[in-house]
Amino acid sequence: MKLSVLIPAYNEEQNIGKCLAEIQSVLKKEHIPYEIIVVNDNSTDGTADIVLEKIKTDSAIHLENRTLPSGFGRAIRSGLSVVQGDVVIIYMADQSDDPNNLVDYYRKIEEGYDCVFGSRFIQGSHVENYPHFKKFVNRIVNTVMKYMFWTRFNDLTNAFKAYRTEVIEDCGPYHASHFNITLEMSLGALIRKYNIAEIPINWYGRTWGCSNLHLREMGRKYLSTLLMMFFQRVLIADDLLAERLVSNTQSRKARSNLTQRIEALESQVDHLRHQLNRDLEEDSVR
């Protein structure tokens, strides 16, 4: 499976270079095929220039430059429209996420899961420099969602998650423009009853720059998305599940047809190889 790491970035010139280097090092060490898509969300600093320098030494890195209006959700949507991998992981440019958890996510997907949700608040997780007030609000919001959606997952607002690309396609198109897209994506997979694993992850507060998440501004946007997804769960979950099952059946048929075509081509290649060997043997005898 090819892994697509999607990184939205706004004014991260002090972080993006090291961020990319860490991801490259970990994925190459684990021999995981990858692409890294950095979405430059109208940065006014040297973020794009640093990414372009990285591209010179690694063709698996790609840069998508956005036009106004800006927004975390818009950047994610732009990146999702160009991913080529089988698995998509949203990764923060500020180095708050642990690159080793990319491997943990990937291995879980290899086990057969459709999605992997990391949690910063279960046994085995590690969190540093989380602002106390934001953590307090986070715990309240996630606890409310646990009861609203009757789920065990306790860190649904965290963007750092892994999805099979087919899940992304089934749950989309997405409409959130800001950080509320994290709810739209994770709750979309949840109410369609995809097979989701939860694992402990590490999280480190940013050491440079300031967060672009402002709770007061995001409150109404989170609420809007939360209510939309809740009513989908209550009122039309059966329709969403039916569409998912049809989509999965079609995907399996497409994969089966592709496998058959590949096997036929391999058979033809083997036949041609044997024929060529016979011709060479006959020529040598002559």
- Residue-level pLDDT at 107: 98
Helices assigned H by DSSP within 130-286: 132-148, 165-171, 181-191, 215-235, 237-285
Question: How far, in Å, CA of 77 to CA of 84, rounded?
Answer: 14
Q: Which amino acid is at 116?
A: V
Please check whether residue 116 is in contact with residue 199, taking contact to mean a CB–CB distance below 8 angstroms: yes
Q: Is 162 helix (H, G, I), strand (E, B) or coil?
A: strand
pTM of the complete model beyond 0.75: yes
- Residue-level pLDDT at 63: 98
Question: How far, in Å, CA of 144 to CA of 58, rounded?
Answer: 43
Of 53, 275, 1, nearest to 162 by C-alpha is: 1
- Residue-level pLDDT at 235: 84
- Residue-level pLDDT at 42: 95
Tell me, what DSSP letter sits at residue 149?
Answer: T
- Residue-level pLDDT at 263: 76
- Give φ, ψ of 90 to 5 degrees: -85, 130
Question: How far, in Å, CA of 217 to CA of 71, rounded?
Answer: 12
Question: How far, in Å, CA of 219 to CA of 216, rounded?
Answer: 5
Q: What is the pLDDT along the chain (286 residues), one digit of tens a residue?
A: 999 999 999 999 999 999 999 999 999 999 999 999 999 999 999 999 999 999 999 999 999 999 999 999 999 999 999 999 999 999 999 999 999 999 999 999 999 999 999 999 999 999 999 999 999 999 999 999 999 999 999 999 999 999 999 999 999 899 999 999 999 999 999 999 999 999 999 999 866 555 556 666 778 888 899 999 998 888 877 887 888 777 666 566 656 666 677 777 888 888 788 888 887 777 776 6
Tell me, what DSSP letter sits at residue 199?
Answer: E
End-to-end alpha carbon distance in the chain? 48
The secondary structure element, H or E, covering residue 4 is: strand 3-9
